[in-house]
Amino acid sequence: MVLGLVFCAIIVIVGVSGALYSYADDIRDYERAKYISSYKTPNSKALSIEEISAKFLEQKPNASIRFLSVRNAKEDLRYIGISAVENDKYGYCEINQYTGGIITDSLKSDKFFTAVMTLHRFLSFDGVNSVGKNIVAVTTITIIVLSIGGFLLYLPRLKRNFFKSLKIELKAKGYKFLYQLHSVFGVFTLIFVLIMCFTGLWWSYEWYRNFLTKMAGAEKISFATGEKMASGSPKELQKIVDIAGETISGSYFIRVPFNGAPYELSYGNDRYGAYNLLKIDLQNEKIVSQELYKDKSTGQKFIQNMYALHSGQFFGEFGKALMCISSLSMALFGISGAMMFYRRKRKIKTVKV
Nearest-CA neighbor of 15 among 244, 145, 200?
A: 200
Question: Within 10 Å of residue 54's Cβ, how many Cβ atoms?
Answer: 17
- pLDDT (mean) for 304-325: 94
What is residue 45's predicted lDDT score, i.e. its pLDDT?
87
More confident residue, 136 or 3: 136
Q: What is the pLDDT of residue 352?
A: 53
Instruction: Please state, for a pLDDT cut of 90, what percent of the chain lies above it.
Output: 56
pLDDT at position 112:
93
| Cα–Cα distance list, 308 to 119, 221, 251, 259, 323 (Å) | 20, 16, 16, 30, 11
Dump pLDDT digits (tens) for 145-198: 999 999 999 999 999 998 889 988 888 888 888 888 999 999 999 999 999 999
Whether the pLDDT of residue 269 is over 80: the answer is: no
What is the per-residue pLDDT for 253?
93
Q: What is the residue-wise DSSP string for 277-309?
A: EEEEETTTTEEEEEE-GGGS-HHHHHHHTHHHH
Q: Please report, rounded to a whole number, the percentage of residues in the chain having pLDDT higher than 70.
A: 92
DSSP-derived secondary structure letter, 222: P
Lowest mean pLDDT segment, chosen from 70-74, 161-165, 200-204: 70-74
288 within 8 A of 280, measured Cβ to Cβ:
yes
**pLDDT at residue 321 greater than cutoff 80:** yes
* pTM for this entry: 0.86
Quick one: pLDDT at residue 299? 93
What pLDDT does residue 220 have?
Answer: 67
How confident is the model over 270-299, as pLDDT tens digits?
Answer: 677 788 999 999 888 899 999 999 999 999
**Radius of gyration of the chain, Cα coordinates, nearest whole angstrom:** 24
Average pLDDT over residues 324-333: 93
Q: State how far the Cα of 63 lies from the Cα of 212, in Å rounded to an integer.
A: 34
Q: Which of 32-36, 125-129, 200-204, 344-348 shows the lowest mean pLDDT across its residues?
A: 344-348
Q: How confident is the model at residue 353 (pLDDT cuts 50, 70, 90)?
A: very low
Q: Exposure string (b/e) for 215-249, b if CB count within 10 Å is 16 or more?
A: ebebeeeeeeeeeebbebbbebbbbbbebbeeebe
Q: Does the pLDDT at position 12 exceed 80?
A: yes
For residues 340 and 159, the model is more confident at 159
Structure confidence by residue, pLDDT tens digits, 85-124: 888 788 889 999 999 999 988 888 988 999 999 999 999 8
How many CB atoms lie under 10 A from the CB of residue 128?
A: 12
Per-residue pLDDT of 208-266, as tens digits, reads 999 999 998 877 665 544 555 667 899 999 999 999 987 886 789 999 987 778 999 99
